[in-house]
């Protein structure tokens, strides 16, 4: 039965890839032969490099990619006359930069509404997610950290080449409490019977409900067993969940610590969804390494995070008018979070908190299309160079917290010799005009992930 299920899923994901590639044929490069994909070098000629760390561009350079790594960067032309099958991409002075990284994404939860998700089979959900994965890659995001959802099979399909998509650092199911953010049960589903049937959202792997340290430990270990690279808990209330007020603190410190200990036993870390000061401070006390959101925290909490070296993974929530499927109460909570956006970035800059960029788009294909535009909105608080460094090398630094659970050993987020070849060729200089990233269809002429070209619209 398990074998038949895996076979069916593989066929569905292959179909998703085929449908997506067909839909994007105007911008996706023509398929190469398998041998060429694996072995033939790719040479970017005459490019200026944003390396992911420096606020200035390099002089005219040539970049050689072999396999899935950057083999050589040279100011002088690279002679490959003795080799055959070379693909030469004339940069003509354009900017070559690292692929973008979104540190708060939900690959399985972007396109369906909550009702669609809970009422559909996993096959349909994977088809939706497969199509969205390709769209995500074509926006220039070559890596995402998935912070909740059953993305393990999608990740496998992408890694095996069944369909195009970004690298996925999966968390697996969000771990929450009864009535916490991620508990999408109805009142008619109560009371919960201990040891009874799982709720629909748990059956799908979207979230798991845990109401004691022992249950938290169990659910954490289950996600690690499935391949989680980090663990996500909801330490406070959330916007989309119907019975989860924003001001509520959910897990006790002992419950949070149970997850931290289980994750640390596997050499990785816990991040928590937390808007308020109380939920953040409790997370820090329990050993959590990364706070997601933080929009409602106060000055003292920000100072604590900086002193403890805690990461802040936050989002520029300004215009979320495309959010769908939210009732009046959820829209009101969303308004509170949006109102806190100016404050969280001001505090992050004031105390020099280690800050990562993400988008946290849920249940809206329309909002997902604005993923790149959300990155461009960082110009409200940061220079273009600061924003792009955050979305490349800084985000990659946070990914390293997964330690040996890192599914993609190698160097990400930079253009340097020996780094993994996730690259974008930009028509213009994003260090001068960050708005270029908001229109990837027009301005990202080449998109390469893991040494493979997924888009090439260079003028011929």
Cis previous bond, 191, omega within 30: yes
Residue 87 pairs in a beta bridge with: 42
CA 97/CA 436 separation, integer angstroms: 13
Work out the percent of the chain whose per-residue pLDDT is above 70. 89
Q: Please, what is the end-to-end C-alpha distance for the chain in angstroms?
A: 51
Please check whether residue 169 is in contact with residue 407, taking contact to mean a CB–CB distance below 8 angstroms. yes
Residue-averaged pLDDT of the chain: 88
What CA–CA distance (Å, rounded) separates 129 from 117?
Answer: 11
What was the pLDDT predicted at 293?
Answer: 96
Q: Beta strand 167-170 with 141-146: parallel, antiparallel or unpaired?
A: parallel
User: What pLDDT sits at residue 73?
Assistant: 97
CATH code linked to domain 100-381: 3.20.20.140
Which pLDDT belongs to residue 336? 85
As to burial, measured by CB atoms within 10 angstroms (0-12 exposed, 13-18 middle, 19+ buried), residue 218 is: middle
Residue 96's CB is within 10 A of a number of other CB atoms, namely: 25
pLDDT > 50? residue 121: yes
pLDDT at residue 326, rounded to an integer: 67
Confidence of residue 430 (pLDDT cuts 50, 70, 90): very high
Give yes or no for residue 363 having a pLDDT over 90.
no
Burial class (CB in 10 A: 0-12, 13-18, 19+), 400: exposed
pLDDT range class, residue 18, cuts 50, 70, 90: very low
Q: How confident is the model at residue 3 (pLDDT cuts 50, 70, 90)?
A: very low
Q: In 97-249, where does DSSP find H-type helix?
A: 114-119, 122-138, 152-159, 200-204, 213-226
Q: Nearest 5°: CA angle at 185, between 184 and 186?
A: 120
- Residue 318 has a pLDDT of 86
- Beta strands per DSSP E along 147-206: 167-170, 174-176
Query: What's the average model confidence in pLDDT over 215-242?
Result: 93
* pLDDT confidence of residue 15: 37
Tokens of 420: 């993994």
Residue 29 has pLDDT above 90, yes or no: no
In the structure encoding, which two tokens stand for residue 107, read together? Answer: 């690959």
High-pLDDT (> 90) share of the chain, %: 67
> For position 361, what pLDDT does the model report?
86
Which residue's structure tokens are 């215009």?
Answer: 319
The top-scoring range by mean pLDDT among 3-12, 36-45, 219-228 is: 219-228
Nearest to 295, CA basis, from 355, 227, 228? 355
* CATH number listed for the domain at residues 34-98+413-456: 2.30.40.10
Residues 6+ apart with CB under 8 A from 229: 145, 169, 170, 171, 268, 402, 405, 406, 407
Helix axes 122-138, 2-23, angle to 10 degrees: 40
pLDDT at 119: 72
The mean per-residue pLDDT over the stretch 24-45 comes to 57
Q: What is the pLDDT of residue 25?
A: 36
Count the neighbouring beta carbons within 10 Å of the beta carbon of residue 103. 29
Token pair recorded at residue 414: 């930079």
CA dist 444 and 246 (Å) reads 38
- For 349-431, strand residue ranges (E) read 355-357, 423-426
Is it the case that residue 13 has pLDDT exceeding 50? no
Any idea where the domains of the chain sit in the sequence? 34-98+413-456, 100-381
């Amino acid at each position: 039965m398990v074998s038949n299920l895996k076979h069916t899923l593989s066929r569905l994901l292959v179909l998703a890839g085929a449908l997506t590639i067909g839909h994007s044929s105007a911008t996706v490069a023509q398929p190469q032969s398998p041998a060429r994909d694996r072995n033939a070098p790719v040479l970017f000629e005459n490019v200026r490099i944003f390396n992911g760390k420096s606020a200035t561009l390099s002089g005219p350079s040539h970049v050689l990619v072999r396999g899935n790594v950057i083999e050589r960067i040279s100011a002088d032309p690279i002679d490959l006359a003795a080799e055959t099958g070379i693909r030469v991409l004339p940069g003509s002075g354009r900017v070559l930069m690292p692929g973008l990284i979104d540190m708060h994404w939900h690959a399985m939860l972007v396109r369906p509404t909550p009702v669609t998700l809970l009422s559909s089979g996993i096959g349909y959900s994977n088809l939706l997610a497969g199509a969205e994965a390709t769209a995500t890659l074509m926006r220039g995001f070559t890596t995402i950290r998935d912070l909740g959802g059953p993305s393990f099979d999608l990740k496998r399909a992408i890694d095996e080449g069944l369909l195009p998509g970004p690298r996925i650092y999966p968390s697996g199911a969000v771990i929450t409490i009864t009535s916490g953010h991620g508990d999408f049960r109805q009142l008619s589903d109560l009371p919960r019977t201990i040891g009874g049937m799982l709720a629909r959202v748990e059956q799908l792997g979207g979230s798991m409900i845990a109401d004691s340290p022992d249950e938290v430990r169990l659910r954490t270990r289950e996600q690690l067993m499935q391949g989680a690279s980090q663990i996500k808990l909801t330490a406070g209330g959330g916007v989309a969940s119907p019975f989860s007020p924003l001001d509520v603190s959910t897990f006790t410190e002992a419950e949070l610590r149970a997850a931290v200990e289980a994750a640390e036993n596997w050499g990785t870390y816990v991040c928590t969804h937390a808007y308020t000061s109380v939920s953040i401070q409790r997370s820090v006390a329990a050993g959590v390494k990364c706070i997601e959101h933080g929009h409602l925290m106060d000055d003292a909490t920000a100072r604590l995070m900086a002193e403890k070296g805690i990461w802040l993974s936050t989002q520029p929530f300004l215009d979320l008018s495309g959010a769908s499927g939210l009732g009046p109460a959820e829209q009101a909570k969303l308004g509170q979070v949006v109102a806190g956006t100016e404050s969280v970035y001001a505090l992050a800059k004031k105390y020099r908190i280690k800050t990562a960029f993400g988008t946290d788009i849920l249940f809206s294909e329309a909002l997902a299309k604005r993923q790149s535009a959300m990155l461009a909105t960082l110009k409200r608080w940061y220079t273009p160079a600061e924003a792009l460094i955050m979305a490349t090398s800084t985000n990659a630094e946070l990914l390293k917290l997964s330690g040996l659970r890192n599914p993609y050993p190698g160097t990400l987020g930079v253009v340097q010799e020996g780094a993994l070849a996730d690259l974008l060729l930009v028509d213009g200089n994003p260090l001068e005009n960050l708005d270029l990233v908001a229109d990837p269809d027009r301005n990202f002429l080449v998109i390469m992930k893991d040494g493979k070209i997924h888009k090439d619209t260079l003028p011929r």
